[in-house]
């Protein structure tokens, strides 16, 4: 049977190992959480941004328009789309998060209209798209 000093040393070693494993598990869990979401970007009109804000961050299909929404992989590509679609009208860039398992259900194009990668979410997938923020800038385009 271990003596008092040996018992304390063993308990201290066990506590330290347990704490190390806990930190390691927390780091892995954080990494797993980050890996489960993909960030995408979209150029939106001031009216669409206002609708997103009114609905608590929900993106909705607009009656009389396409039944879903297009997203791209970088703010710069979203700015290219904004410049093309809105011409001289104002627009904003938003960032959204999409679970990877849901993104697999989006239609994807590697180079839509020679601009870059794009993903289309049909109306039924829009509830899985999480509005994260309005970018405080629009990337400069030549």
d(CA 135, CA 39): 13
**Is 139 a domain residue?**
no
d(CA 128, CA 84): 27
Question: Do 16 and 43 reside in the same domain of the chain?
Answer: no
The domain total for the chain is 2
Question: Do 50 and 85 reside in the same domain of the chain?
Answer: yes
83 and 113 in contact (C-beta within 8 Å)?
Answer: no
Positive or negative: CA dihedral 32, 35, 36, 42: positive
For the entire predicted model, the pTM comes to 0.73
* Secondary structure (3-state) at 119: strand
pLDDT the model gives residue 67: 85
Q: Give per-residue pLDDT as tens, 41-92.
A: 999 999 999 999 999 999 998 765 668 999 999 999 999 999 999 998 999 9
Question: Do 121 and 75 reside in the same domain of the chain?
Answer: yes
102 and 128 in contact (C-beta within 8 Å)?
Answer: yes
Question: Do 15 and 57 reside in the same domain of the chain?
Answer: no
Kindly give the residue spans of alpha helices, DSSP state H, lying in 1-141: 4-35, 46-54, 75-86, 100-103
End-to-end CA distance of the chain: give it in Å, rounded.
77
pLDDT the model gives residue 21: 47
Question: Do 30 and 51 reside in the same domain of the chain?
Answer: no
| Domain coverage including residue 40 | 36-134
Work out the number of other CB atoms within 10 angstroms of the CB of residue 94: 23
d(CA 115, CA 79): 10
pLDDT the model gives residue 74: 97
**Structural Rg of the chain based on CA atoms:** 23
Question: Do 74 and 61 reside in the same domain of the chain?
Answer: yes
Question: Do 51 and 97 reside in the same domain of the chain?
Answer: yes
């Amino acid at each position: 049977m271990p003596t008092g000093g040996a018992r304390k040393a063993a308990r201290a070693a066990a506590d330290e190992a347990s704490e190390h494993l806990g930190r390691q598990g927390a780091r892995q869990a954080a990494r797993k959480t980050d890996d489960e979401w993909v960030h995408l970007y979209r150029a939106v009109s001031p009216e669409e941004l206002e609708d997103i804000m009114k609905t608590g961050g929900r993106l909705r299909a607009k009656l009389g328009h396409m039944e879903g929404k297009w997203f791209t992989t970088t703010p710069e590509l979203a700015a290219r789309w904004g410049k093309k679609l809105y011409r001289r009208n104002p627009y904003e860039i938003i960032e959204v998060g999409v679970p990877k398992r849901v993104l697999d259900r989006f239609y994807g194009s590697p180079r839509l209209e020679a601009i870059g990668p794009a993903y289309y979410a049909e109306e039924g997938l829009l509830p899985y798209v999480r509005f994260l923020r309005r970018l405080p800038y629009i990337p400069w385009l030549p």
